[in-house]
Structure 1
Amino acid sequence: MRISEDKEFLILQSQKGRPGSMAGADMVLYRRQNRADHRIEKEMSRKRKHQQMSEVNLELNELDDFGMDYEEDIGDSEPEVAETNVKKNTKHTASTCTNRGRKHFITPRLLSALDSAKVSDGKAMHILMATAEALGHCTSDLVVNRSTLHRLREEHRRKESQRIQESFIDKLSDTQAMVVHWDGKVLPDLIGKIKVERIAVLVSYNGESKFLGAPKLISATDRVEGMSFDTTSTNTGPINGACAQLQRMLGRNLLTLPCRHHILEIYLRSVFDLHFKVTQAPEVSIFERFAKAWPNIDTSSFKSGLDCGDIKSHISDGICNDIKQFCHSQLQKTFVRADHEEFLRLVLTFLGDNGGKFKTPGVTSHARWMSKGIYSLKIFLFRDQFHLSKAELKGLS
């Protein structure tokens, strides 16, 4: 053995107690100590910065107070008197007032802004204190604390809710008939992070609509003459359905207005299932394939439906013009759902008219019922760029 350090190590290993040993650094202990040192250094830096800012503010206050006193006392004041006034005003500004604040500055507009921004009481306190200090106010003179802010916000919400309800009732006439609409939604709870199911309720009357609440309905049941709802069993059940229970509660029959979207969904789904294999999967396989192939499709190269001889033979020129005229008239309106506008534009493109640019494919699940019409038209327009089996091409045409 030629290396002297190795020889010395082996000799120490053979002695009693084995004073010589080899071991790596304890990285866990090292990182723990490093984090602790970093926290201490960060806290010290914060304190130093706060002390520097306090000294700067104190110097600025001294200069301002000295300037004010000098302008008031110039010509007839002694230097000692001016110095005394500077020290007195500086002490009043820098020290904390022991008396309770009396000045109210939180307005209803400020409370509404905090609620609109969803700012909690604790965070609002930091914002208000920092804003008051930035504007040069003595925070000890202001009525600002968490409990007072919480109480003012609750009172403001109660008054606003009462004002909105009263203004809504005043607009209605005694003979005004309304239709109540409702739907179940899973929404975050007001307290905590859990989600709860609520029933969003609104009424429509004279071309206007008003949200009543979720889930509580205000006392306007005497004017309710109809119900608008989706066609699920929880609403249409003959015994325990929401419609049956509402009519029993009111003691009279109401006009039923099932949602037209969900009614048309049945027709569209039945036609689609007639030509394509019925599946229980949440996604439609052919639509999912088309969405993945969309980045490789040239949107400037497509063929309209009238280019297909079978389709052209079933659509006369008069029917084609009527459909185009209807689509153009509907596109002049404002759409709540973007799917309706996209479907009309695809119909125009399918009939050889200018329907505008193509949109990137979106959701392909069964829950988006308009996707069956949108995807079917879009796939047929790009049938030369997207691989289709004979059965799929026959089902689309």
Structure 2
Amino acid sequence: MDGILLEKLITYGIVFLFCGLIILFYLRKKSKASNIVVKKVETAKEEGLHEPVSLHPYIDPNACIGSGACVKACPEKDILGIIDGKATVINASNCVGHGACFHACPVEAISLRIGTEKRGVDLPHVNQNFETNVKGIYIAGELGGMGLIKNSVEQGQQAVDSVVKSKKINKEGILDLVIVGSGPAGISASLAAKKHSLSSITLEQDSLGGTVYTFPRAKVVMTSPMNLPLHGKVKLHNTSKDELLQLWKKVIKENNLEIVENTKVENITPLKDNTFKVSTNTGNEYISSNVILAIGRRGSPRKLGVPGEDNQKVAYRLLEPEIIKNKKVLVVGGGDSAIESALLLKNENEVTLSYRNDKFSRLKPRNKENILLAEKDKSINVIFDSNVVAINETDVLLNLKNGDTQKIENDLVYIFAGGELPTSFLEKAGVKISKRFGYIMKKY
């Protein structure tokens, strides 16, 4: 009997020891993974990538159970991680606002916000129907805080649905709707207007595709399945700008949409009969019952304000890098757009990159790796702490940190200094704008 008891005790002891070893192994593995995420967060802070610049996930640590579902659901790399059993944001600046983490969280510990407690973001007042404080003016897409292509497409359609429900349409001799912008939100709204048999016109200050058109040709657009009105479900994952633009052109042609390019809307004036006069830089004016603004947050490109900037060799976007060869090119800026453009041009041209700061920050990891490699192998001449002070016919003058001026022989200048939020344009139309701190986006 004693032998049997001893045998049982030994068996139990082995089982407990084995379970203990498993738990110990699990905890050590969990601690190791946690430490890796901690280091990633430290690196993100050093590189300026920890602070969000647009729509981003906010995690409530009191509600989070550390399931890791949000990490698995996020299609981007190293946006989220787990530290000590709680989810945390790592490279918030690289978040593109998919919202997959929000939907994946089993305990609703994640909300999607724009701006932080310290850094506010200017946002127009928009209700759940995408209508601003001015009845009849709607906002869809990036201007309202939602930059992802799929979200913009959905909002363009939903804004038109709200126009239809408002019944502020069908006045004789007056357009039902003017759509400003032909990016994803604008094209979706144009298709939805056609679907609902609304009289409408779409005005684009640049070329078809809006913001998408300004991407370098080789840039890949990350998106997911979306529904286009009158076209159906579109399954796009790793899609180049050209492929996306071909889709836009196809649906526009198939549905006979009227899109007027190279026409910038300068003023939207509310009239006494609850309609709007939409004035453009071409001198054309349109009277409409409703307006949808799908113009993006950047509005017009920010200029340097230096002598010679109106020279024809100056541009603010790179459209066809493959046809530019044997040129002396200056790229101005240190963001992802500037870096990607410089990298696309370096193989066929002599490229100089001028950046006003002393080091790169807030770059996507691959862009940072590639530009540092290009600087090292001297395929791109990178000049930190420099500012353009004059653009001449055959050269460009840079001011350096030590006070010296450097002259660079030059054929082309590409300026990537960001864009200016169209605040005055919106306010002239009566749309209210407020600075939001940690604003929860409720439209998800």
With structure 1 as the length reference, what TM-score do the two structures score? 0.25
**Structure that is richer in strand per residue:** 2
With structure 2 as the length reference, what TM-score do the two structures score? 0.23
